[in-house]
Structure formats: structure tokens, C-alpha cells
Amino acid sequence: ETGPRHTPTSTLANGPVISPPHTVDAFVKAFLHELNFGQGVPLSRSSVNDQYLALARTVRSYLMARWLETARRRRTDKPAKMVGYLSAEYLLGRQLDNALLATELTDIATEAMVACGIEIDDLRQQEVEPGLGNGGLGRLAACFIDSMATLGASSIAYGIRYEYGIFQQTFVDNRQVEKPDAWLSMGGPWGVVHPEMEVPVNFGGHVETYVGEDGRERRRWTPAWGVMALRYNYMVPGYQNGVVNTLRLWRARATESFDLHIFNAGDYAEAVRAQTFAENISKVLYPEDSTPQGKELRLQQQYFFVAASIKDFIQHTMPKDFDVRDLPERIIFQLNDTHPVIGIPELMRILLDEHDLEWEEAWAITKQCFAYTCHTLLPEALEVWPVSLMERLLPRHMEIIYRINEDFVAELRETYPGDELRVRRMSIIADHPERSVRMAHLATVASVKVNGVAALHSELLKEKVLNDFSELWPERFTNVTNGVTPRRFIKLSNPEQSKLISDTIGKGWVANLDRLEELVGYADDADFREKFRAVKAHNKTRIRNVLVSRDGIALPEGHLLDVMVKRLHEYKRQSLKLLHIVTLYDRLISGEVEPSTVTPRTVVFGAKAAPGYAMAKETIFLINSVAQTVNNDPRVDGRLFVAFPPNYNVTLAEKLIPAADLSEQISLAGKEASGTGNMKFALNGALTIGTDDGANVEIRQLVGDENFFLFGMTEPEVAELQAKGYRPGEYYERDPQLRRAIDLIASGHFTKGSRDAVSSFVGDLLYNDRFLALADYAAYIEAQDKVEAAYGDQDNWSRMAILNVARTGFFSSDRSIRDYIDRIWHVKTGV
């Protein structure tokens, strides 16, 4: 890296960076050093938080040596092309255990803490997870950077260091109440700040024409205000390969000039207040999952981190004499959904206004530097920004977008003469209901590749969401099926299963998940099945303990553990799961079934709702209300239990998923782009009940129909029903079981007699039901009844679960990243 620096002439300057030795003694020494001289406390007077921070910094120092070494190797090598992963979200989860695993320090650190009289588990509990993401998209980014480091892919990831991550969810009177997530308040030991390397980012102002020295007319942007982007580096360790990559998160800081005029006017307090305004940019993660609100601050955030990242890459990551014409050989920016798409006009602006390139040349370069991943099929999730807002906040960028669109529309008119309807559909600028910029169109026009995140999703992108574009540029569209990191979601989260696998096929699977296939034969081995069941039983005991101490929830023992964890969204159909629970309950209390003949089942939900999403919040209220009623009704006789621990997050997922028997993946077909929880469950030995949607399709193909509980309409059937006109009331009229469930809810049975409390939920189901829950209800209940029958044969259930583990190695994020590298990025790998 270049940048302002002073290189001492001492012989020490080029010496190697040596990490402390991998011994318990050296670790204890380094730990005590951090405690005494970092925290400024003796061991005898240290708090748990002191100890945690000292431990984190000790582990960080081992990482740091590898990080410097990785950077040094990349400097001396012939400079290679890099991936610049641009994502507004990284849902990282706790860092300590992953860092210990990567550096092979777990045992040493544990012993070192014992030597100090410290229980390392207490320190683990002290870590607040960085929740810098909402759900699937952010967690995927976290898995991907883990895999990039593990594959040694030449890469850097960029994002925002939100001061407040995803809100903390609490329940008050069964309703969601959000609390700010001050994840840094106890000290963030993992980030390394470089205040001297900050980057300016500007906003507002106007654009004017001027004549350059060569007599050519040019445009010049005079911004009205700006902020500084402060650089925080986080280390991303590869799995036991010595590589440590960089995650660079930006924090906004007010510039000196920002408030100068206020200072001069003598209003000190007002000047300080103005700083707060600037620093608001990186203050809080927007808690919307798949339904952006189009807030101005959000556009500021997007431009802020993308502008800082591109500038950082060109100015600091490239050599000083670097020619921007070589950019396509040096970088591919991967756009994680549309949030970073403003980077496209930003790169054009840099090339045109700062490097004096002609339009055609700048466009030819820009078009090679971006690739776009779409993560949704919901039309309302495709970001659009009002032209008026863009003109006010980023006037030069708006101009550039207009010009890109002008050329694009001209090309369309040539290709499709007279087809003005198509031109309107495809235009980057929409006219209705408000003149606005369609970010997905801009991304598609400027990218080398556009990918969906599962096979079905990528097909539907081509056939529906971006159909016109795929007709024009079929070769641009591709699929990269999502994956999850086996380090965090098997090795760390499920140590018992990991040990069983390693004892059976060796340890290589952690970095080569295809090797799980070697377990296929063991599905027929009774001894192995028994061990596998023991692992599951162990994990159930573990989650029981976690939920007792975390939430005071006591899960019953010996139940089928049925888990639905994901963001609360209508298309995911938590309401359908709720109808199933009410049906089971109704069968028990109506005397239709004898409790002793019923498979005992515990359903665990985990879900946050966007704070402004009313229907999602009603659903949370109803789940909690049903749980309260069901769990306290003696007629249920302990056969059904519903738990909804608040604040589902990565840390809880790591404990809950390995304990599950049944994975709920019940979105309406054609709506869930991929899902990644579905993969985690299968890899941890849960069976899936699911629709033909997202990556469920591929999971089922791999594990086999007989090891998957499929139900519900297919995407074409959904389309057909909707075309014909869907009337949910008809299902209610026709199906007595469904009618009883809905009537029971509507009667106020679960809401202390209040019908009002449930009227919007019930009304929506009967008269709207946008995601066709009632149409899939009967098939779902039937499939659930099959689940119960299958669970009765424990030995066969284990067989099916083992085959799920053995056949889903494909869903390693290592494989996803290989796909990106081979088909999109073309960057080097290896340590």
C-alpha cells in the first residue's frame, strides 16, 4: 500500500513480523501484557470485560502477524487482480472463536486461561456480536469473506462501520419493542483504526461547465459539503492457511471545514451539533430487510462507503504511478445487491473529471469493473431513488446517469425499432409514479455479469424480473448458488458432530466440504446412526441450557424440535407455520386426538420484524400470544410447546441450528431468492419441510426426494392461480380444519378474548393473503403429518438426517466463491 508514511532507515525496517510463539507460556505472557499495559489492570483486579478485551487483543496480535505477512506477499508478487467486495451489510457474528480456530490457538488459549484462573467460556459470553446486517444478504457477505480468505483469493471487502447494528429485539406484552444495539459500548477490540488514512467524501452543490487547458469543455462538480471517511480494518482469517484478508469498514467524521463558518460566527455549540449531523451517516444500520424505505440518509450511506472504497482502492491499494486505464486488469467490484450501485457513476466521475478521460473510454473501462448480484424477487425490494433527491445530493452523478441512459436508450431503439413500450420498461429512469433511478437497471447495464443466488432464482431473474435485459444480453446472466461457511456453521457451532465426522473420515472436510460424501455409506451403519443421534441429543441439551439462562425458557425434553428462524416477512409465511400450530393445538383440545398418541413437538421461532412493517409485527404478537396460550393449557398435556426467544442473532443461530430436527423453509414458491439457513440446517442433520423455492430445490435434488418433505405449489402453479384470480376465502370455506384454526384465532382465544387484537391478521388472511398461505395450507398439514410418522421411526430418521449431511457439501461458501472466481472475477487464489 502507498499513502503517507515515513520509512525509518534502520535495519529493523524490513525485518519480518513475528507472531508470539504458539505455546501456552507465550500466550499467557502476551495476555498479561495486554491486560497490564493495554487495559491497565493487574490480573487480580481485572473485570471479565478487561479479560475479554485482553484475550481478544492477544489473539488479534497473532492474526496481525499473518495479516502483515499476507499483505507483504501480495506486494512483492507481480500485482494481481483483486476483488473489491462492496456490501452495505456484514452480519459477522462473534469473532473470538473464529480467530482462535483459524490460528489453531483454541487449545493454547484455553489452557492459558486456566493457568490464569479464568474460565474462557465466561470471556466468550462477554463478546457482543457485530450485527452489521439484517439477515440473509449480510450473513452471506460474512460467509463469503471467510471463504475468500480460506481460498487465498486476492480480495478486499468494503462496508460501513455502523455505530449501531441491527436493533436488539425485546417483547413487551407479546409485542416487539426495539432497543438500540450499542455493540461498541464495551470496546471494539477487533477493529484497527487509521485516522491518518481518511478519505474525503462530498455531497450536494452544483455542476458547471468550464474550458480546460486543452480548450475542451468539461464539467466540474462543486460540492456543498463533505465528510471524512475514517478507515477501520478488520482482519478476516483464512482457515489455518496463514492468510488474513482485510474487511475495511468506514466511519463518518465531520471535516474541519464543515463547521468553520459556524465557528467563525461564534456559535461553538451549534458547530459541534453540525458535526453530529455529518457523523450521523455511519450511525445506524437501516433495519429493513428486502423492503428499502428510500430514505435520504440511506443514499448518503451508500455513496459514502462506495466513494470512500473506490478512492481508497485507486489511491492507496494501487501503486502511485498507476494508470487508471489498467483498472479492469486490477479490480472487479462485486456489487452485493443494488446498495453499492452508485459506485458505477462514481467511477465514471473519477475517470471523466479527475483523470480527464473521454466518455467512451471511461465507459469502456467502467463496464469491465463491476459485477452485480441480485438477492431478491420482490419488486418492492428493487431500489429506486427519486431523481429530485439524486439531483440534490449527487448532481454530477445524476448527470452521468442521464448520459448513460441516453446512450442505452439509443442502443435499444436501434435494436428494437418502434418498440417504445420495451424502451420504457428497460430505461434506467422511470417516469412513474415519480421520476426516479432504477438501480437494478443501472447495475445490469454496467456489469460484466449479473447473477442470481440459486438456480431457480437465476432462472426467474431471466424470465421475469430482468427479462428484457436477458433477451438483449443472454450471456451476461449467470447463477451462483449461495453457500455457508463450514467453519462457523459446522466446525465451531457443532463440535460434537464435527468430531464424529473427523473421527470417521478425517479432518479434511472443513476446507473441502465435498468430502462429506464419504459419509453416505455410514447412513447404513447402525453404530454410526446411534452416535449421530447422541450428537443431536447433546445439542438439544445444550440449547435447553442456553435458552434457560438467556431467556428463562425451559424447553421440554424428548420432543421433535421444529425450528423456523429467519426475518419476519409475509412471503416467508410464518403465518402458515402459525396455522399449523393452531391446528395441532385444536386437535388436542377438541379431543379429536388422544394426546398420548401425538408426536410431542416443540416449535422454536426466531425472527425480527422491520420496525415499520405493521403486518410483520402483528404476526410476532400472534406467535407470542399463541405460545402463551398453548404452553399453559393443561389439555395439551405437554405434547406441544412453542418458544419464541427474542433477539434471534448469529450467536443464537449457532446454538439452535445444530439442535434442530426439522427445518422450516416454507416461503411461497418463486419468492425466496435462495435462503441460506436452509443449508445450515441440512448440514447439521435436520430434515427440511419445504416448498419448491430458492435453494430448497437444489437441496432436495442432492439429498433425494425421499429425504426431504416437499409440499405446496410450484412457481408456475402459483403464477397460474394468481392469473386466474386468487380468493383465499374459498379455501377457508372448503377446508373445515383450516376454518377451525382461523376461527379459533379470530375468536380471541389466544388474545385474552380480544377479537380486535387479531382482526388485521385474520382480515388479511381471508381477504388478501398476498403470499397464498391458505392455498398451501392443506398440503402443508399433510406434509407435517408425514413428518410425525417418519419421526416415529427414529432409526430411519437418523438415516435420512445423515444423508442430508453427507450430500450437502455442495453448499459450502468455498464452492460459491470458486464459482465467482472461475466464472466472474478471474482472480488468483492460493496462499
Closest CB 829 distance from ligand 6GP, rounded Å = 22
Closest CB 671 distance from ligand 6GP, rounded Å = 8
Binder among 93, 131, 136, 486 for ligand 6GP (CB under 6 A): 136
DSSP designation for 385: E
Check residue 616 and give left, alpha or beta (phi > 0: left; psi -120 to 50: alpha).
Answer: alpha
- The residue among 141 and 492 lying less far from ligand 6GP, judged by its C-beta, is 141
Take residue 405 and report the three cell numbers written for it: 441512459
**What gap in Å lies between CA 810 and CA 141, rounded to an integer?**
18
88 binds ligand 6GP (CB under 6 A): no
Window contacting ligand 6GP (CB under 6 A); options: 36-44, 134-142, 760-768, 810-818? 134-142
Take residue 18 and report the three cell numbers written for it: 513475528
Site for ligand 6GP in 271-300 (CB under 6 A): 289-290
**What gap in Å lies between CA 606 and CA 651, rounded to an integer?**
12
Q: Which of 485, 676, 691, 751 is catalytic?
A: 676
Site string for ligand 6GP, 319-358 (x = CB under 6 A): ------------------x---------------------
| Residue in this structure with the C-alpha cell 468553520, named with its chain if needed | 260
381 binds ligand 6GP (CB under 6 A): yes
159 binds ligand 6GP (CB under 6 A): no
**To 10 degrees, what angle do helices 574-589 and 736-746 make?**
100
Binder among 92, 140, 442, 762 for ligand 6GP (CB under 6 A): 140
Q: Has 567 been annotated as catalytic?
A: yes
Q: Phi then psi for 750, rounded to 5 degrees?
A: -95, -5
Window contacting ligand 6GP (CB under 6 A); options: 187-195, 272-280, 345-353, 672-680? 672-680
Window contacting ligand 6GP (CB under 6 A); options: 136-144, 518-526, 541-549, 812-820? 136-144
How far is residue 144 from each of residues 91, 137, 641, measured CA to CA in Å?
11, 11, 36
Q: Which of 94, 231, 330, 567 is catalytic?
A: 567
- The residue among 376 and 498 lying less far from ligand 6GP, judged by its C-beta, is 376
Binder among 131, 645, 658, 675 for ligand 6GP (CB under 6 A): 675
Exposure b/e, 808-818, CB count within 10 A at least 16 = b? bbbbbbbbbbb
Contact 153, 817 (CB under 8 A): yes
- The residue among 55 and 453 lying less far from ligand 6GP, judged by its C-beta, is 453
Take residue 776 and report the three cell numbers written for it: 398451501
CA 292-485-570 angle, 5° bins: 30
Q: Has 464 been annotated as catalytic?
A: no
Site for ligand 6GP in 693-712 (CB under 6 A): 694
- The residue among 285 and 381 lying less far from ligand 6GP, judged by its C-beta, is 381
Closest CB 491 distance from ligand 6GP, rounded Å = 21
Q: Has 752 been annotated as catalytic?
A: no
- The residue among 572 and 587 lying less far from ligand 6GP, judged by its C-beta, is 572
| Residue in this structure with the C-alpha cell 431471466, named with its chain if needed | 462
- The residue among 231 and 569 lying less far from ligand 6GP, judged by its C-beta, is 569
Annotate 327-381 with DSSP letters as a single string: HHHHEEEEEESSTTTTHHHHHHHIIIIIS---HHHHHHHHTTSEEEE-----GGG
Pairing of strands 90-91, 131-132: antiparallel
- The residue among 138 and 191 lying less far from ligand 6GP, judged by its C-beta, is 138
Minimal CA–CA distance to 532: which of 802, 808, 797?
802
Contact 595, 588 (CB under 8 A): yes
- The residue among 112 and 132 lying less far from ligand 6GP, judged by its C-beta, is 132
Polymer length in residues for the chain: 831
Site for ligand 6GP in 473-502 (CB under 6 A): 482
Site string for ligand 6GP, 760-789 (x = CB under 6 A): ------------------------------
How far is residue 443 from each of residues 86, 153, 544, measured CA to CA in Å?
13, 24, 46
Closest CB 721 distance from ligand 6GP, rounded Å = 22
- The residue among 53 and 616 lying less far from ligand 6GP, judged by its C-beta, is 616
- The residue among 169 and 751 lying less far from ligand 6GP, judged by its C-beta, is 169
Torsion angle in degrees (nearest 10) through CA of 287, 288, 289, 294: -140
233 binds ligand 6GP (CB under 6 A): no
Closest CB 641 distance from ligand 6GP, rounded Å = 28
Torsion angle in degrees (nearest 10) through CA of 42, 48, 53, 57: 70
Site for ligand 6GP in 617-636 (CB under 6 A): none
393 binds ligand 6GP (CB under 6 A): no
- The residue among 453 and 652 lying less far from ligand 6GP, judged by its C-beta, is 453
Binder among 376, 485, 647, 691 for ligand 6GP (CB under 6 A): 376
467, containing H or E segment: helix 467-472
Window contacting ligand 6GP (CB under 6 A); options: 52-60, 135-143, 226-234, 408-416? 135-143
Q: Which of 339, 680, 700, 807 is catalytic?
A: 680
- Would you report the helix, strand and coil content of the chain in percent, each value rounded to 5? 55, 15, 30
Those residues whose C-beta lies under 8 Å from the C-beta of residue 622, and which sit 6 or more positions away, are 578, 745, 750, 751, 758, 761
Site for ligand 6GP in 435-464 (CB under 6 A): 453
Binder among 127, 346, 672, 769 for ligand 6GP (CB under 6 A): 672
- The residue among 129 and 337 lying less far from ligand 6GP, judged by its C-beta, is 337
Contact 646, 594 (CB under 8 A): no
Take residue 818 and report the three cell numbers written for it: 470458486
Q: Report the residue closest to ligand 6GP, judged by CB.
A: 136
Residue 290 DSSP SS3: coil
Window contacting ligand 6GP (CB under 6 A); options: 43-51, 246-254, 375-383, 725-733? 375-383
Q: Where are the alpha helices (DSSP H) in 128-243?
A: 136-150
Contact 246, 236 (CB under 8 A): yes
Binder among 673, 741, 783, 821 for ligand 6GP (CB under 6 A): 673
Window contacting ligand 6GP (CB under 6 A); options: 48-56, 309-317, 326-334, 667-675? 667-675
**What gap in Å lies between CA 486 and CA 658, rounded to an integer?**
13
DSSP designation for 15: P
Window contacting ligand 6GP (CB under 6 A); options: 145-153, 358-366, 515-523, 671-679? 671-679
How many chain residues bind ligand 6GP (CB under 6 A)? 18
- The residue among 130 and 670 lying less far from ligand 6GP, judged by its C-beta, is 670
Give the largest Cα separation in the chain, rounded. Answer: 91
Binder among 649, 674, 804, 816 for ligand 6GP (CB under 6 A): 674
Closest CB 551 distance from ligand 6GP, rounded Å = 26
CA 600-603-607 angle, 5° bins: 180
Window contacting ligand 6GP (CB under 6 A); options: 389-397, 518-526, 632-640, 669-677? 669-677
Take residue 213 and report the three cell numbers written for it: 487547458
Q: Has 231 been annotated as catalytic?
A: no
How far is residue 11 from each of residues 68, 127, 165, 313, 528, measured CA to CA in Å?
18, 40, 44, 30, 59
50 binds ligand 6GP (CB under 6 A): no
Closest CB 475 distance from ligand 6GP, rounded Å = 23
Minimal CA–CA distance to 74: which of 317, 272, 254, 299?
317
Torsion angle in degrees (nearest 10) through CA of 12, 13, 19, 25: 30
Q: Which of 60, 139, 161, 375 is catalytic?
A: 375
Catalytic residue numbers read 375, 566-567, 572, 676, 680
Residues found near ligand 6GP in the complex (CB under 6 A): 135-137, 140, 289-290, 337, 375-376, 381, 453, 482, 672-676, 694
